[in-house]
Structure 1
């Protein structure tokens, strides 16, 4: 089985230039370990409000994304979503720490599950599963919840800071999940063909290379990866969307039924179109908890049009 090799600890990671990283994560881990969830919740969302005041450019990105995706939505509703989105972004910092250091009993205390038997049944059949998640702000915590009954492989992008990378990889794998390099497509196919689960997030703009332009919400030409077609067509895996949205201090992990029969064969545009519709259904469950701060519509279909022009 192909997996991303764990970064090795060395004395070089203790160099003073990395002390800020070690201190920052240590402080976060101490907060989520020692403080009650209610206190952490308030701290995180207050931090998000501060980010809204200081991050005007990111607020502009979120506003434009919502304008493009939901042109018929009232501006007051969009502004309310932006405020909530920033609050959730602040909380996401603490939720990441929770995902990495909370004991199993504490995670289970805050999670409820829907349709998890479906994942287990597919495993009994020996069928690989492409678990399609979205960039929800509590994604790390959702991935951790899966380890209690169905661990799998996450697509991994190494961090440029080696100390951060060491902590991040440890956090994502110390409870059962494994990582696979985002460029290792053959490894991903091996995972699926062997009947394992691969976490997959096709909801961002990953630039023009290996992408097609298909509808996403109200945008008719959203840059969308063709990776879905490659993985589904070559592995004949099940495709299951999942979400782990939060209502105050409770997280609900919803697992949907297999939709692999909805995808056309050998049709990258058709597959991307179906996948975007599936992703939309997940995001609509809780719009304020998706990552609207990302420039989802930055890449234009016409290569001669400036990238990011929709956000000018």
Structure 2
């Protein structure tokens, strides 16, 4: 179970010797974040290749997901995609360090943003705006870059390590106008009622209690139900966002979602999954294939595919 929020709590208990290795790791991360972007990309690619061969469990999850989502893809093509996925995740590791420890301003010349006028138009109605995105390897760095252009309120998940929580919550407070712990629906509604931008990454399995089942690449999977409920309550406009790494930097693209079916939870979940599919096929190696997307089965008695 994740630790509670560390906001308004002293750092003193986290200086206990049992956390010293974590702090040492944070220091190493700080040093690595100062490496130039091209070098980070090369090191990240190397790290990804190493993990592809060593992280057997994650590679198995990745290959299982690819088997489910791309049944017509050949084995060698799947292996190549899995290898490129790990390379992308390695690059994402270094990008997260840059997000934590470096000034995002230095990456702005390498960043292209399209569709931001749609957000401003959506906010003109006074009901806030919901951004729907997914989990891609560049999510941390692209999120911090997005916050330079738009005052987004992202949802986040607390981590199990209190030192990581302490650091990440404070860093998010620096990067974003406001952040919302993912279970705090009251704050989500409050942000929308005050005409703000709430950013959801909607593509992870939070379990049967919080989900409805909708197709994702042709297979039923647990999909967040409360996003549709939030949109129904707030009547907020919905914009899909895609973010990905390019050879020279980052691209963030937004497009308006017309007639979001907020009255029907399954239809809403189906639409969200289709939006994710459209983003994934543009740059499939950058998706979080090593996440257990199909962990919760529609039939409770069915075995896990993993």
Which category of TM-score, normalised to the shorter sequence, fits these structures?
A: over 0.9
**Aligned partners of 2:139 and 2:113: how far apart in 1?**
15
TM-score by length of 2: 0.93
Q: Do the aligned partners of 1:71 and 1:218 also contact (CA within 8 Å) in 2?
A: no
**Aligned partners of 2:237 and 2:6: how far apart in 1?**
27
Shift of 1:54: 0.8
**Aligned partners of 2:8 and 2:245: how far apart in 1?**
32
Aligned residue for 1:84, secondary structure, equals helix
Segments of structure 2 that go 5 or more residues without pairing to the other structure are none
Q: Do the aligned partners of 1:88 and 1:137 also contact (CA within 8 Å) in 2?
A: yes
Query: Within 5 Å, which residues of 2 pair with 1:157-176?
Result: 157-176=157-176
**Aligned partners of 2:99 and 2:121: how far apart in 1?**
26
Match of 1:251? Answer: 250
**Aligned partners of 2:169 and 2:193: how far apart in 1?**
24
Query: Within 5 Å, which residues of 2 pair with 1:34-73?
Result: 35-73=35-73
Shift of 1:124: 3.7
Match of 1:20? Answer: 21
Match of 1:189? Answer: 189
Q: Does 1:9 align with 2:6?
A: no
Match of 1:233? Answer: 232
Q: Do the aligned partners of 2:189 and 2:234 also contact (CA within 8 Å) in 1?
A: yes
Aligned residue for 2:29, secondary structure, equals helix
Which deviates the most, 155-164 or 5-14?
5-14
In structure 2, the CA distance between the partners of 1:260 and 1:128, relative to structure 1 (3 Å rule), is: farther
Q: Do the aligned partners of 1:228 and 1:275 also contact (CA within 8 Å) in 2?
A: no
**Aligned partners of 1:109 and 1:292: how far apart in 2?**
29
Per-residue CA distance 1:17-48 (angstroms, 9 max, x = gap)? 11222221222222222x21111111111111
Shift of 1:126: 2.6
Q: Does 1:198 align with 2:201?
A: no
**Aligned partners of 2:8 and 2:165: how far apart in 1?**
7
Per-residue CA distance 1:23-82 (angstroms, 9 max, x = gap)? 21222222222x211111111111111111111121111011011011112222211110
Aligned residue for 2:63, secondary structure, equals helix
Runs of 4+ in 1 over 3 A off after TM superposition: none
**Aligned partners of 2:181 and 2:148: how far apart in 1?**
23
TM-score by length of 1: 0.92
State the aligned residue count: 302
Per-residue CA distance 1:168-222 (angstroms, 9 max, x = gap)? 1122221234221211112211111221111101111111113111110121x11
Segments of structure 1 that go 5 or more residues without pairing to the other structure are none
Per-residue CA distance 1:230-263 (angstroms, 9 max, x = gap)? 1111111111111220122311111112x151x2
Which deviates the most, 15-24 or 134-143?
15-24
Shift of 1:7: 5.1
Query: Within 5 Å, which residues of 2 pair with 1:94-133?
Result: 94-133=94-133
Query: Within 5 Å, which residues of 2 pair with 1:201-216?
Result: 201-216=201-216
**Aligned partners of 2:76 and 2:224: how far apart in 1?**
32
Q: CA RMSD in A?
A: 1.6
**Aligned partners of 2:247 and 2:133: how far apart in 1?**
21
Q: Do the aligned partners of 2:134 and 2:276 also contact (CA within 8 Å) in 1?
A: yes
**Aligned partners of 2:115 and 2:234: how far apart in 1?**
24
